[in-house]
């Protein structure tokens, strides 16, 4: 390589590095915004790259460094990044985000003729196709996609009279190129199934939403799908005799009609399943199917989420499920009743993977009653029990579940989270006097309640406990374990607060209680430093986080 070529490469690399640095500086500043810290923070951050490219381009244009003057390889290097983060074949990317990303790419075509030419000549730009697009647009996209794998998608429509969709023959003939088919629109259910009646050897991700009312007549059968690994079925179930279920690794079933025999057969046909989600919205509890049901063994399952209306429905599945390697799982019950009958089932679900050696091993059980109201969460190690909207009659069953957790982990320290909306919170908290509670997190949600109620319950002021609260005879139930208290979203009088702590906590408790944290509270009274000094005198540190002083 001669010196002239080296010099050219050096200039090109310097320009690319300078542009990329500016672009990623913009992205870094975007990460500090609240949007990037949401549930879809990672996806949002990646999408901001497209915005960052546009901003960086405008800055360069303002400096009169026009794209017409940049070498082709520099343009391709810069904008190739946008295509790299397109994620059209990512099954976890929400379709709304996918469509937004496509619009960003389209708008960026207007930045310069060099960028427009690059996109128009790139097969990857044409690989994502909205099935509701005009037939000519679909045909053109397929022609320009070349050998790139296709992503066919469709959003949910809310029109009472959706317009008819006609698929061009070019799309039907290109079914072998489809790697991803995702539709949230129940009106395209039959259309998508007809598209897959022939073999689709490249299909890896399939997401279909069936109609709320099952269609009359025979449903279009699915063809051979030898490469599929991710299936999302909404309001329908895959056939249990499909050979391609053997290779399935991720299965999401939404709005199933209870774990009936067909669902059990589907799971039995998926021995290589690694991730499972079942969300059931049917409140009708059916009887157990006749005969003996063989256990469902999923030896490779790593994580699962089960969301059912009733205990009865959930246990039909969990009692038959064997998943020795499942190290991350969640069970949610929306309308739980008679918890005492299912303590053993919950215990088994939380410790299903006793032979699993992978970390982290976690299990969450969310149990909700018919009411709205108090939510209490108990955590030990990586296990979590969450209760909400349960009647006082279930207090003993809750205690039994927590007791199981304590015994199996040889008495770990618990974290108790209280969503303080109703007095029943204290009814569930008080019977845990024989448990090792290390942290208490109380969310008052600006309900107008005072923190004195909290200290009355965890302290010695039995006579002042809120009316209707169930108590026992324990007098120092937290003296051997409590280390920290978090108080969220309520008003705190800093002049009176140290007195509350001193009055309602035992001397032995004060010796072990190390920290009180006020989060998002309104603070009144003297300076915070004065209250901190008073509590420090009895060995307790107080901190405030996002609190307002008035």
Helix axes 41-62, 95-108, angle to 10 degrees: 10
CATH 3.10.20.600 fits 413-462+477-549, yes or no: no
365 forms beta bridges with 331, 385
Nearest 5 degrees, angle CA 311-CA 312-CA 316? Answer: 110
Taking the mean position of all CA atoms in its chain, how far away is CA 82? 26
pLDDT digit string, tens, across residues 517-541: 999 998 988 888 888 998 998 888 9
Question: Quick one: how many helices (H) and strands (E) in the chain?
Answer: 17, 22
Look-up of token digits 């640095």: 21
φ, ψ for residue 301, nearest 5 deg: -65, 130
How far apart are alpha carbons 505 and 511 in whole angstroms?
10
- State how far the alpha carbon of 184 is from the alpha carbons of 76, 93, 95, 117, 237, in Å: 34, 13, 8, 33, 15
Give CB contacts under 8 A, 24+ apart, made by 6-10. Answer: none
pTM to 2 decimals? 0.76
Residue 108 near residue 81, CB atoms below 8 Å: no
Helix axes 72-84, 95-108, angle to 10 degrees: 170
Tell me the percentage of the chain whose pLDDT exceeds 90.
20
Look-up of token digits 């089932």: 345
How far apart are alpha carbons 444 and 253 in whole angstroms?
36
Q: Output the tens digit of pLDDT for each of the chain's 550 residues.
A: 445 445 545 555 566 566 666 655 665 555 455 444 443 344 444 445 556 655 655 555 444 445 556 677 777 777 777 777 678 899 988 888 888 888 888 877 777 777 788 888 888 889 999 988 888 999 999 999 999 999 999 987 766 666 677 788 888 889 999 999 999 998 888 889 988 888 889 999 999 998 877 665 567 788 889 999 999 999 998 988 899 999 999 999 998 766 667 888 899 999 999 999 999 866 554 445 555 467 899 999 999 999 998 888 888 888 889 998 888 999 999 888 888 888 888 888 887 766 666 666 788 999 988 776 667 788 877 888 888 888 888 888 888 888 877 777 766 677 888 877 666 666 777 666 667 788 888 888 877 667 887 877 676 433 344 444 444 444 455 556 788 999 999 889 888 888 888 877 765 555 678 899 999 998 988 888 888 998 998 888 999 988 888 7
385 forms beta bridges with 365, 378
Burial class of residue 420 in the structure, from the number of CB atoms within 10 Å of its CB (0-12 exposed, 13-18 middle, 19+ buried): buried
pLDDT digit string, tens, across residues 261-288: 788 889 999 999 999 999 986 655 444 5
Helix axes 343-350, 395-408, angle to 10 degrees: 40
Q: Please, what's the b/e burial string for 116-135 (b: 16 or more CB within 10 A of its CB; e: otherwise)?
A: eebbeebebbbbbbbbbeee
For the chain, the domains span 413-462+477-549
- Cα dihedral sign for 515, 518, 524, 527? positive
Between strands 414-419 and 375-380, the pairing is: antiparallel
- How many C-beta neighbours within 10 Å does residue 300 have? 15
């Amino acid at each position: 390589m001669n010196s002239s070529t080296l010099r050219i490469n050096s200039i090109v690399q310097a320009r690319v590095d300078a542009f990329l640095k500016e672009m990623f500086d913009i992205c870094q500043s975007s990460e500090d915004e609240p949007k990037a810290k949401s549930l879809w923070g990672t996806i949002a951050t990646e999408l901001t790259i497209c915005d960052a490219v546009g901003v960086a381009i405008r800055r360069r244009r303002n400096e009169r460094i026009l794209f017409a003057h940049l070498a082709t390889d520099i343009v391709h290097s810069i904008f190739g990044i946008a295509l790299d983060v397109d994620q059209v074949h990512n099954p976890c990317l929400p379709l709304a985000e996918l469509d937004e990303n496509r619009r960003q790419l389209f708008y960026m075509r207007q930045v310069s003729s060099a960028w427009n030419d690059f996109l128009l000549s790139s097969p990857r730009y044409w690989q994502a196709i909205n099935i509701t697009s005009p037939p000519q647009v679909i045909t053109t996209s397929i022609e320009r996609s070349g050998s790139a794998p296709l992503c066919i998608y469709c959003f949910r429509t809310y029109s009472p009279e959706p317009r008819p969709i006609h698929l061009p023959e070019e799309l039907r003939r290109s079914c072998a190129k489809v790697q991803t088919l995702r539709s949230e629109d129940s009106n395209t259910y039959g259309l998508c199934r007809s598209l897959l009646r022939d073999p689709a050897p490249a299909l890896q991700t399939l997401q279909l939403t069936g109609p709320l009312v099952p269609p009359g007549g025979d449903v279009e059968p699915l063809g051979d799908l030898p490469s599929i690994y991710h299936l999302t079925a909404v309001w329908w179930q895959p056939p249990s005799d499909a050979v391609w279920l053997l290779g399935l690794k991720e299965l999401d079933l939404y709005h199933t009609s209870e774990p009936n025999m067909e669902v059990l057969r589907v799971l039995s046909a998926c021995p290589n399943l690694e991730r499972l989600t079942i969300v059931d919205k049917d409140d009708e509890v059916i009887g157990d199917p006749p005969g003996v049901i063989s256990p469902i063994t999923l030896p490779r399952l790593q994580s699962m989420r089960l969301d059912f209306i009733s205990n009865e429905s959930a246990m039909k599945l969990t009692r038959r499920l064997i998943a020795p390697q499942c190290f991350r799982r969640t069970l949610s019950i929306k309308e739980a009743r008679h918890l005492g009958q299912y303590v053993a089932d919950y215990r088994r679900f939380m410790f299903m993977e006793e032979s699993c050696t992978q970390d982290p091993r976690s299990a969450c059980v969310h149990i909700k009653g018919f009411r709205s109201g108090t939510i209490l969460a108990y955590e030990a190690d990586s296990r979590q029990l969450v209760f909400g909207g349960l009647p006082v009659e279930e207090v003993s069953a809750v205690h039994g579940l927590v007791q199981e957790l304590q015994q199996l982990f040889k008495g770990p320290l618990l974290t108790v989270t209280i969503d303080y909306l109703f007095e029943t919170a204290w009814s569930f908290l008080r019977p845990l006097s024989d448990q090792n509670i290390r942290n208490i997190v109380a969310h008052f949600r600006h309900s107008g309640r005072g923190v004195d109620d909290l200290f009355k319950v965890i302290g010695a002021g039995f006579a002042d406990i809120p009316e209707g609260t169930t108590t026992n005879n324990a007098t120092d139930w937290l003296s051997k374990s409590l280390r920290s208290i978090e108080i969220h979203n309520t008003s705190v009088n800093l002049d009176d607060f140290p007195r509350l702590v001193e009055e309602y906590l035992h001397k032995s408790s004060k010796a072990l209680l190390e920290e009180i944290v006020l989060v998002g509270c309104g603070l009144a009274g003297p300076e915070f430093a004065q209250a901190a000094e008073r509590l420090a005198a009895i060995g307790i540190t107080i901190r405030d986080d996002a609190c307002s002083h008035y």
